A and B are shown apart, each in its own frame.
Chain A
Amino acid sequence: MTRLALTPRRVVLGVLAVVLAVVVLYIPQYFVEFRTAQFTSVIAISIAVLGLALLTGFNGQISVGHGAFFGVGAYTTAILTADHGWSHLSTVPVAMILCLAIGVMVGLPALRISGLYLALVTLALATLFPLVIQKYSDVTGGSTGIGVPDFEPPDWASGLTEDQWAYYVILAFAVVTFVLVRNLIRSRVGRAIIAIRDGEVAAEVLGVNLARYKVATFGISAMIAGLGGSLFVMNTAVLDRVDPSQYTIARSIEFLAALVIGGAATIMGPVLGSLFIVFVPEFSSDINAELSRVIFGGVLIVMMLVLPGGVLGGLTRLEAGTLRRLGRDRQWRRLRATAAEADSPDPDGSPTVDGAAT
């Protein structure tokens, strides 16, 4: 298993990656301001969805409330830049630490609440968030919100327009975050996180400290969502104020939708999902505004019935099927071997193969 072996799969993926990188870097040069800013918000949202992926996809703790952490990050940046004159980027660590703390605080009671009940609690939290904003309107500007100062490119980047600058900065944050999370998932810590999702009792028996890992994952996940929110408001070319209507339960549902559409336990799924939820409603409401929401709900349902692993999960299955047909079934055999451990004294016996892209 040498890292540098040029298997056909690696070559294809490598070429695809290069092409993708070029496309991504070129976007702000090609598109008008509005479109570029849309892509920027996709990137910020995908960071938040990545945070959700860590908690819900990889660790199995369902959160229908990540819009609230997103909102906390957003409001932190907005308040600090607008009312206290901070520079935009310096607010990022504050937003992250604040969300980390809140995430840990939510993660603690979450230790004793799981599954559907946790979904309920986080849903209630997310519903509360805009009300909290309105309650403390002195600080948050209430329903009118706060105007966010422009995120201008510095002198050394003066060749870029405002929207381009925001795009590249937020893209840079995204790349770093995605790489870090990917490495986390592949590390021993990541395996423990996943083990908890797949069976807490077994994980505990293997020595994993459930409480520590679950709370930490909640905190980190919230922190990443907060990062996304903080960056989201720096998209000042199109977004000049924050107000509670942007951070309602609908936002949390959006994130969850993006997560499962892209692929709940994948790294790149959040990106796909975010592209979907930002662009598809726009196009579908051009076709028929009222039905587009019906279709959106329908897509979510169909997704869970047909492709529970999301698009990327489905691609993994497709890949496995293709591999099998091509006779290259090393991975397939590995899959069967793990599933064969299923016929031990286990009452239900059927192995679950979810679309987790490893």
Chain B
Amino acid sequence: MELFFNQVINGIQQGAIYAALALALVLIFRSNSLLNFAQGEMAMFSTFIAWILADNGFPVVFAILAAMAVSVVGGAIIERTLIRPVGSDNVLAIVIVTIGIFIATNALAGWIYGTDGRVFPRIFANESLVTFGDVTVTQETTGIIAILLVVVGLLYLLFQHTKVGLAMRAVSSNAESAQLVGIRVGRILMLGWGLAAALGALAGSLAAPQLNLSLNLMQGLLIYAFAAATLGGFDSPLGAVVGGLIVGVTQTLAGQYIDFFDGFELGSAFLLILVVLLVRPQGLFGRAVVTRV
């Protein structure tokens, strides 16, 4: 029994990391209506920036916030120069461009930062917060989930109770009509990418202490993060967090208790994506698409 709970806790620990990256994916989808396959690599790049700042004496929290700020600008620039010219209709082109950004960002990071792993300073100690017998819940995991929930709350306030948030929702609902009511659509699109990039930086900084900061930081996570976003609903930040935790727990339990998934945990994530897209494409918390033909 204790093994089960330990695995669940492990799963939650993993899942929190997936949730963090999933938040960035959800934000980009929510505001710009696209899947950004390069989100992880951008996050990794930003995390290196945070690391450099921390390595040069700045306190960790400041380093992370500064990296997030830089990422806002970086994301906005990428949107304006690389994504906007493609246009929203050409789905294949968007896939290619985001893959291109993936490749280039990864290679650029390798060129600038080198291929060695780095130790990333912790915000939360990797010590137990609470213990039930042999089962430990760490401060770190709790801290990460707490931060994520705060972010979810802030995003909710942004989208539902600010003019900018309403504008973002309008643009993603109908960009042409948004223009017609006077919303500066270009700026909103840039903002979407900027915010998502900042969330990616946060995700990387939260993940790096556990996983070690290297070029591969996000690659192992990307599919899981996508599974989390799919399960939670691509337009729901809360869904990203809940989805992430469920994916994490599913992954560890499946790997532990089902032979097929032993050493093949990614298969469980894939299955999750497939089932959700077939059975309930809007995920747990997403909004079902209403189309009147």
Chain A residue nearest in CB terms to B105: A297
Residue in B90, B103, B273, B278 whose Cβ sees the most chain A Cβ within 10 Å: B103
Task: Decide: B99 and A300 in contact? CB cutoff 8 A.
Answer: yes
Contact residues, B52-99 vs A (CB, 8 A):
82, 85-86, 89-97, 99
Task: Decide: A116 and B108 in contact? CB cutoff 8 A.
Answer: no
Task: Decide: B95 and A116 in contact? CB cutoff 8 A.
Answer: yes
The distance in angstroms between the C-alpha atoms of A113 and B270, with both chains bound, is 14
Chain A residues contacting B269 (CB-CB under 8 Å) are 124
> Beta-carbon contacts of A193-208 to B below 8 Å, as 1s and 0s?
0000000010000000
Partner of A128, one of B96, B263, B266: B266
Chain A residues contacting B226 (CB-CB under 8 Å) are 120, 124
B-side binding surface: helix, strand, loop or mixed?
helix
Chain B residues contacting A123 (CB-CB under 8 Å) are 37, 223
Task: Decide: B100 and A304 in contact? CB cutoff 8 A.
Answer: yes
> Beta-carbon contacts of A105-142 to B below 8 Å, as 1s and 0s?
00001001101110111011101100110110000000
Chain B residues contacting A119 (CB-CB under 8 Å) are 35, 37, 91, 95
Chain B residues contacting A290 (CB-CB under 8 Å) are 107, 110-111
Chain B residues contacting A308 (CB-CB under 8 Å) are 86, 90, 93
**Is A18 among interface residues, defined by CB-CB distance under 8 A?**
no
Task: Decide: B107 and A294 in contact? CB cutoff 8 A.
Answer: yes
Partner of A303, one of B95, B96, B176, B270: B96
Task: Decide: A352 and B267 in contact? CB cutoff 8 A.
Answer: no
The distance in angstroms between the C-alpha atoms of A127 and B264, with both chains bound, is 11
Tell me which of A24-32, A252-260, A335-343 binds B.
Answer: A252-260
Chain A residue nearest in CB terms to B99: A253
Chain B residues contacting A113 (CB-CB under 8 Å) are 277-278, 281
Chain B residues contacting A264 (CB-CB under 8 Å) are 92
> Beta-carbon contacts of B102-137 to A below 8 Å, as 1s and 0s?
111111101100000000000000000000000000
The distance in angstroms between the C-alpha atoms of A74 and B131, with both chains bound, is 51
Total A residues in contact with B, Cβ cutoff 8 Å: 44
Task: Decide: A121 and B277 in contact? CB cutoff 8 A.
Answer: yes
Task: Decide: A117 and B101 in contact? CB cutoff 8 A.
Answer: no
Least CB distance, B224 to chain A, in whole angstroms: 10
The distance in angstroms between the C-alpha atoms of A123 and B221, with both chains bound, is 13
The distance in angstroms between the C-alpha atoms of A115 and B93, with both chains bound, is 11
**Is A293 among interface residues, defined by CB-CB distance under 8 A?**
yes
**Is A327 among interface residues, defined by CB-CB distance under 8 A?**
no
Least CB distance, B108 to chain A, in whole angstroms: 5
Interface residues of A (CB under 8 A from B): 56, 62, 64, 109, 112-113, 115-117, 119-121, 123-125, 127-128, 131-132, 134-135, 201, 253, 256-257, 260, 264, 290-294, 296-301, 303-305, 308, 348, 352
New A-B pairs, 6, CB < 8 Å, besides A62-B95, A297-B106, A352-B89: A134-B263, A253-B103, A256-B95, A297-B104, A300-B96, A308-B93
